[in-house]
A and B are shown apart, each in its own frame.
Chain A
Amino acid sequence: MSVQRNAVIFAWILLLPAVLYVAVIVAYPLVDTFILSFTDASLKKTTNWVGWVNYSKIFNATFAEVIIRTFIWTFFSVSIKMIIGVFGATMLNSAVPGRALFRVLTMPPWIVPMAIGIFMWGWMYNGQFGMISGMLQRFGLVDAPVAFLAQGSTAFWATIITDVWIGVPLVTLYMLAAMQAIPQDLYEAAWTDGAGRFYRFRRITLPLIVPSMITMSMLSLIATFNSFDIIWILTRGGPSGETTTMIIDTYKTAIGSNKYGEGAARAVLICIFLSIFCVCYFRVTSRLTSGDKR
């Protein structure tokens, strides 16, 4: 058995640098956050252990609203990202001239520093001077300028769209890779049987990229749930708190109001939510992908 034991020791040697690094740089602050969530830490020099107070404070009607809003926001953002990503990947996967260039052209939102991308959207949403409102007026679709960030309903969607925009390149890239991994002969077989392009997409492409879609949507979900800059720069969670998600609320509490304890409790809560998600995800995927191997 010594052969095996050596291998295990070696595996740990390989892992050690990465594990240690992450442990020191991230795990330590994580534990710090966890401990903080049970204290009344603030700008004050002294902190006291307060037990569950921070957690019990969180649960009120407003926060319930925030949670629900976060879920809805995340749900729509991830779903739209996946839909657009799959759509884009499908288009870019077709054998038409120029697709290499088109593939490159999908990347910029991913590359540009996030804040800049958001500023550009801010410009687009501007009612008086922005492109969307301007175009709509030009084509006579509306007669007064539309300020997209003014109303809770439009601002909610505007932030989602921007989040989608930032996430789409990576999703598209992964979906494209997943599609390219599907053996060509499956399509040829289906075509020989008379299946048209759309039918092939629906019955072959879509089912076969489902595992990749699940992985991607989970990674995307974690990122989206914690998506901060977009809402912060565009609306600061307003108007009337209608775009305030959990992470915004956490930031406002911890950094804005310097209530580090309460902020930490919120952060821990976010992590718990996401962990539950991920466990469910692993359950679902292991069931979905079993028996599908060729």
Chain B
Amino acid sequence: ADKEISWIYCGDKIDPIHEKYIKEWEGKNPGWKVTPEVVGWEQCQDKATTLAAAGTPVGMAYVGSRTLKEFAQNDLIVPVPMTDDEKKSYYPNIVDTVTFDNNQWGVPVAFSTKALYWNKDIFKQAGLDPENPPKTWAEEIAAAKQIKEKTGIAGYGLPAKTFDNTMHQFMHWVYTNNGKVIDGDKIVMDSPEVLAALQAYKDITPYSVEGATAYEQNEIRAIFLDGKVGMIQAGSGAAARLKDTKINWGVAPLPLGPSAKGEGTLLITDSLAVFKGTGVEDKAIEFAKFITSPGPQGEYELQGGAGLTPLRPSPKVDEFVKADPSWKPFIDGITFGGPEPLFTDYKGFQNSMIEMVQSVVTGKAEPADALKKAAGEIEAFK
């Protein structure tokens, strides 16, 4: 009988491009079969974890790269070492997102970065230059204030719901101010850079969409699409949607904080992790590398609409950016971007971060205190 590589595939259905390449790979590897199991995004990762924890791991799963450390430390996954050539083919910093203990633990399969979207009509209405988006936090806050005061419309969309992307959004601010949460094994979050980011959050809140803690980023995006907020930071997916609206919009690199060294963003990747104990680890690695190799991956990520940023530079990408300049800010940010911090108890860390953001946004705590408290808490989650 055929040997099987089971693959937990997040989404509602298998992407046709992946389907095509699975066929191709199966054709090249007779006796092998890839059996994807489609699981909705909400439960995708939990399912892979549960299966592994219960001792029946799947061959391969689509997981957020942030969990790789936890999996690795608990001996659930096998390393997927990359050759230097392979590493070089990616944009900078991307390989870092899957690297831990000098080893790669997953193959990046999806990548996203963020940029600032602004509504030109609202800018105009508020007396701002619609063609000149804010370049720094100070400008951004000032613009938000002016919009709010002149038009009554919220100037900025700040998502702060108890949701994972609340931390992501904040990490964009940290990385646009050259901040860091963890350095090797040391928590370095209680730093002036991060404090400045948190202070900026506090400063912009009054001019943001009412009730920030009720919204996550997709909901904020919907408000922007509805023309009810001046600026948001969002992924490439927003651009695709904006094209269907009457809104006059622009997209620019994320504004920078006072300590910034250059354009930055949080680099979020999802990876294919190969689980230990299935007996097909080697073949699974082989397949993972195949399905993320420049050919298939390039086709997959440039379909647009899914909000993905290309993982590797290529002539095709350049062509693409030329055709649609709104892609540029997303790629420019990569150079100074940082990875999601890797923690053993990633959820614990994330909860503390969300808590910190929320306490500042709702005015329950001063930024400095909140930061100190969170920095203390996350020590336990390394």
Direct contact of A and B (CB under 8 A): yes
List residues of A whose CB falls within 8 A of some B CB. Answer: 42-45, 125-129, 144-152, 155, 235-241, 252, 255-260
Please tell me if the beta carbons of B222 and A238 are within 8 angstroms of each other in the complex: no
> Counting CB contacts under 8 A, is B118 at the interface?
no
For residues 331 through 361 of chain B, which have their beta carbon under 8 Å from a beta carbon of chain A?
345, 347-348, 351, 354-355, 358-359
Docked Cα-Cα span, A256 to B223, in Å, equals 30
- Choose among A43, A125, A152, A155 the residue that contacts B49 (Cβ–Cβ < 8 A): A43
Please tell me if the beta carbons of B49 and A258 are within 8 angstroms of each other in the complex: yes
> Counting CB contacts under 8 A, is B214 at the interface?
yes
- Which single residue of chain A is at the shortest CB-CB distance from B163? A236
Q: Mark B347-382, 1 if CB is under 8 A from A, else 0.
A: 110010011001100101000000000000000000
> Counting CB contacts under 8 A, is B161 at the interface?
yes
Which of B52, B161, B212 has most A Cβ within 10 Å?
Answer: B161
Please tell me if the beta carbons of A43 and B71 are within 8 angstroms of each other in the complex: yes
> Counting CB contacts under 8 A, is B213 at the interface?
yes
Docked Cα-Cα span, A4 to B76, in Å, equals 58
Given known contacts A149-B213, A150-B210, A241 and B76 CB-to-CB distance under 8 angstroms:
no
**Complex contacts, A152 vs chain B, CB 8 Å:** 362
Docked Cα-Cα span, A127 to B223, in Å, equals 10
Which of A148, A236, A258 has most B Cβ within 10 Å?
Answer: A258
> Counting CB contacts under 8 A, is B293 at the interface?
no
**Complex contacts, A42 vs chain B, CB 8 Å:** 74
> Counting CB contacts under 8 A, is B175 at the interface?
no
Please tell me if the beta carbons of B364 and A146 are within 8 angstroms of each other in the complex: no
Given known contacts A43-B52, A256-B347, A239 and B213 CB-to-CB distance under 8 angstroms:
yes
> Counting CB contacts under 8 A, is B219 at the interface?
yes
**Complex contacts, B71 vs chain A, CB 8 Å:** 43
Size bin of chain B's contact surface: 35 or more
Please tell me if the beta carbons of B219 and A126 are within 8 angstroms of each other in the complex: yes
> Counting CB contacts under 8 A, is B110 at the interface?
no
Docked Cα-Cα span, A131 to B125, in Å, equals 28
Docked Cα-Cα span, A44 to B53, in Å, equals 8
**Complex contacts, A236 vs chain B, CB 8 Å:** 161-163
For residues 143 through 176 of chain B, which have their beta carbon under 8 Å from a beta carbon of chain A?
160-163
Docked Cα-Cα span, A146 to B213, in Å, equals 12
> Apart from A43-B70, A128-B226, A150-B212, what 5 extra A-B contacts exist at CB < 8 Å?
A129-B222, A151-B211, A155-B213, A240-B355, A256-B351
- Which single residue of chain A is at the shortest CB-CB distance from B364? A240
The 9 sampled A-B contact pairs (Cβ below 8 Å) are A149-B214, A150-B212, A236-B161, A240-B355, A240-B364, A252-B347, A257-B345, A257-B347, A258-B53
- For the complex of A and B, list the 6 residue pairs with the smallest distance between their C-beta atoms, beginning with the closest: A238-B162, A147-B211, A150-B211, A147-B214, A239-B213, A150-B214
> Counting CB contacts under 8 A, is B66 at the interface?
no
- Choose among B75, B215, B347 the residue that contacts A147 (Cβ–Cβ < 8 A): B215
Q: Mark B211-230, 1 if CB is under 8 A from A, else 0.
A: 11111000100110010100
**Complex contacts, B161 vs chain A, CB 8 Å:** 149, 235-236, 238-239
Docked Cα-Cα span, A176 to B359, in Å, equals 45
Q: How far is the CB of B201 from chain A (nearest CB, A)?
A: 14
Please tell me if the beta carbons of A238 and B74 are within 8 angstroms of each other in the complex: no
> Counting CB contacts under 8 A, is B46 at the interface?
yes
Please tell me if the beta carbons of A240 and B362 are within 8 angstroms of each other in the complex: yes
Please tell me if the beta carbons of A239 and B358 are within 8 angstroms of each other in the complex: yes
Given known contacts A241-B355, A252-B347, A257-B345, A145 and B211 CB-to-CB distance under 8 angstroms:
yes
Docked Cα-Cα span, A129 to B163, in Å, equals 19
Please tell me if the beta carbons of A255 and B46 are within 8 angstroms of each other in the complex: yes
Given known contacts A238-B213, A238-B358, A43 and B347 CB-to-CB distance under 8 angstroms:
no
Given known contacts A43-B53, A239-B162, A257 and B74 CB-to-CB distance under 8 angstroms:
no
Docked Cα-Cα span, A202 to B228, in Å, equals 51
Which of B214, B351, B355 has most A Cβ within 10 Å?
Answer: B214
For residues 61 through 119 of chain B, which have their beta carbon under 8 Å from a beta carbon of chain A?
70-71, 74-76
Which of B52, B71, B212, B345 has most A Cβ within 10 Å?
Answer: B345
**Complex contacts, B212 vs chain A, CB 8 Å:** 150
Please tell me if the beta carbons of B362 and A239 are within 8 angstroms of each other in the complex: yes
Q: Mark B225-256, 1 if CB is under 8 A from A, else 0.
A: 01010000000000000000000000000000
Docked Cα-Cα span, A66 to B348, in Å, equals 17
Please tell me if the beta carbons of B355 and A45 are within 8 angstroms of each other in the complex: no
Docked Cα-Cα span, A127 to B213, in Å, equals 11
Q: How far is the CB of B56 from chain A (nearest CB, A)?
A: 13
Docked Cα-Cα span, A256 to B210, in Å, equals 29
**Complex contacts, A144 vs chain B, CB 8 Å:** 210
Given known contacts A43-B53, A128-B226, A238 and B75 CB-to-CB distance under 8 angstroms:
no
**Complex contacts, B70 vs chain A, CB 8 Å:** 43, 258
- Which single residue of chain A is at the shortest CB-CB distance from B53? A43
**Complex contacts, B364 vs chain A, CB 8 Å:** 240
Please tell me if the beta carbons of A127 and B211 are within 8 angstroms of each other in the complex: yes
Docked Cα-Cα span, A231 to B46, in Å, equals 18
Please tell me if the beta carbons of B362 and A151 are within 8 angstroms of each other in the complex: yes
Q: How far is the CB of A85 from chain B (nearest CB, A)?
A: 29
Docked Cα-Cα span, A259 to B346, in Å, equals 12
Q: How far is the CB of A42 from chain B (nearest CB, A)?
A: 7
**Complex contacts, B226 vs chain A, CB 8 Å:** 128-129
Which of A45, A129, A257 has most B Cβ within 10 Å?
Answer: A257
Which of A125, A150, A259 has most B Cβ within 10 Å?
Answer: A150
Please tell me if the beta carbons of A127 and B362 are within 8 angstroms of each other in the complex: no
Please tell me if the beta carbons of B74 and A45 are within 8 angstroms of each other in the complex: yes
Docked Cα-Cα span, A25 to B345, in Å, equals 31
**Complex contacts, B351 vs chain A, CB 8 Å:** 252, 256
**Complex contacts, A239 vs chain B, CB 8 Å:** 160-162, 213-214, 358, 362
Q: How far is the CB of A44 from chain B (nearest CB, A)?
A: 5
Given known contacts A147-B215, A151-B213, A258-B49, A45 and B162 CB-to-CB distance under 8 angstroms:
no
Docked Cα-Cα span, A67 to B84, in Å, equals 53
**Complex contacts, B75 vs chain A, CB 8 Å:** 44-45
Q: How far is the CB of A123 from chain B (nearest CB, A)?
A: 11
Docked Cα-Cα span, A58 to B256, in Å, equals 42
Please tell me if the beta carbons of A235 and B222 are within 8 angstroms of each other in the complex: no
Please tell me if the beta carbons of A237 and B162 are within 8 angstroms of each other in the complex: yes
